[in-house]
Structure 1
Amino acid sequence: MNDTPPPSFYGQSDPDERPTSAFGPAPGSHPAPPPAATEKRRGRGGFAAAVVTASLLLGGAAGLGGAAAYDAWYDEDAPASSNVATRTSPVVDQGEAPAEAGSVQEVASAVLPSVVKIDVLSSQGAGSGSGIILSDDGTILTNNHVVEGAGAGGSISVGFEDGTRADATVLGTDPLTDTAVIRADDVSGLTPATLGQSGNVAVGQQVVAIGSPFGLDATVTSGIVSALERPVNVGSDSEGNATTYPAIQTDAAINPGNSGGPLVDMTGSVVGINSSIRTASSSTQGGAGSIGLGFSIPIDEVMPIVDQMIAGETPTHARLGITVSDASVPADAQPGDPVQPTGETGARVGEVTDGSTAGEAGLESGDVITRVEDSPIESADDLVATVRSYRPGDEVTVTYTRDGEESTADLTLDSDAEGATS
């Protein structure tokens, strides 16, 4: 069993989060007198950037304290007169830096008008995330975990690049893919994002992430695609179905509040929806920051579901009609027991639903699925994420082992439209 904690959601920022360091002396501190010298050192003060007002004020005070100490120090030591000429750096107006073709600057300029900050008020408190404009009249794509708190008497408001704001309502949500669509009220003339194809993304290519980490709207970060089809499990819905998707992994800095914002390629086309991060902490919620392991939902996989939500339909997903567990864990292992790995990889079949496509294809409890089409399956999450990348009705070839013998089965994927699925 994989004992690494799952990636954390980052749709809501933590109001108790504080910066870990500050620059500049604290208010009221007195630096030691400078050593005797003909050339005096220049003092440096500053303040730490922070998210909440209290921290900004603390940082500002530290900077002011440093400046005050600098002035007192040099007023006392300054000679009565000096014949040394004072020279200052020239100030020039260099003009606005032109954006180079294909640069991060050019991408940011093109995409920023299509990204919004989403603020949610609910009975649990306040949180914020990001969203991607899909239509000029206010259809916006985001994560389910960003807006789910607004379901019970909460409210949603959207902030646009030009500083205007609008209330918004939820058009549809899909916990299994962690996506949602909202509509901003009474808006027009917005700039829809350009949607790309995540199937064209390659490991190592440069990408840009845009969103509102820790509430800091219109933040741009860049990096590369670190991996593709990374199975990411971020929990389950109310019926126990896993929220798992085959993620694009990136080292572009992604933090709490980036949720729902776009991951774009260097043409400015959206290839993913930033959704989760891996942290060094065991916590699965909020406060920890980026360590270069961010995960985005591939846009190709979710657009059919997004179209269903926009049309007012209930999203549907492909399924095999089975329950699965990691083949590396003994089938009879009990929660809390020490586990001796089996040495196998794959997804072990548990229950097979009567009449399901897996049952009709001959799969049985105890079989270990090792491949779907050309995608290797190393765990239960691998299988769920891979099947979720297809649509109901798609035909696939499943490779599995039974009693050490490898077999294949051709089947047509079921739909969960008529009930819950595993």
Structure 2
Amino acid sequence: MQKTVPVIALTKCGIGIFDLDWWVPRLGLFKSVTLPSVLQASEGYEFHWFILLDEDMPPEALESLRTAIDETGGTEKVHLQFVRTSIEANRAGLNAMRSIVGDHQRALVIRIDDDDAVSREAFTTALDAIDDRGRPAVVSLAEGYIFDAPGIVYGEWASPNQTSNTYYYGNLAEVRRVIWHNHTKALFNAKRFGYQSKSVLGKGRNFLYTVHRQADGSYEERQQRIQEWSDVDDQLADEFALDVEGLAEWQNYQRTAKRTLGLTWRRAMPEVTRIRELYAEIDKLKREIVKTNSTLFDPKTPFLYLLDPAIPPASVKKGKVRFRGVATPGSRLDLSLAGKSSNYKLFRTVDVDDRTGEFDFHCGFNAATWKVRLDVVDRETEKVLKTWEFKLTVR
């Protein structure tokens, strides 16, 4: 029964990192640990794995990743999803889920890092822990191992709050509410939203949390969590599908690998912070587009566009400039201008056609760069229905 539920894995991999010296060891670990492990756990399931990558990642790294996926037999299951920035990754992951199950079908979703692993039966154990398939759930397979990759040793560990052992069951909206929150609070958030929340103990050790020197967190501090280490044996390698030979090669490379100057994921913080602010503005504008174009046949819905001048590039010759377009039928269009300052002054007012919303008029302009503001105004209430500001270069 449980294998009829789609399983979707989401992995953010190296978004915002373009140094090939970083990618080589990272992919070595991914190819030896995460890739074979997740593919083994997926056997028998309808499984889709979306790896979220930067569209500007080094071509050599991309080719190495594609080759590894092909050689491991994952071509049909693994999908590479490219984003411009890390800010887009969460949305891209959810859109990937939507492409598989739509808005209403429930699926089991896991966020897994590009250096961790899951056991052969992890997906089955997570699904078996969901008591009511008609309700959303967050399940943590709390018992697993810490894997010290440089030493190729491991130790038993229990923690309910790792990305590699937390599973989200639900439809798109249900998963969206919890998956990208702080993973250390996943079970708490599940309870807060009225979801099933379960930490599974006594059902085997189902995750392998990898520590190594390339991570931003302290390798030494994470090592200290384990009191007794054991060498990786055939049983562990089989349970998690580890490529022990690949790990040995990776281990040799680590002995000469460079240490990142500063924290890898924080080095571009000023730019990422600014991008986040810009995306907030983009989201606001997108909501306005949805509002405008969700009622295409309602004459009261505010809208505005220009046919002349052409925008972009919003560049015209000096003299009489034609303003031709369409706005909300029966409204008024106010054209205001500003020069070097931002102090707009009303320059022209026209009533648009009561039936079609069309307008067509000319204004005289001297050569300069002008700030133009068009306001669509309700004639009766004087309420501004829509505003558009842009620069007009008059040459």
TM-score norm. by structure 2 comes to: 0.26
TM-score norm. by structure 1 comes to: 0.25
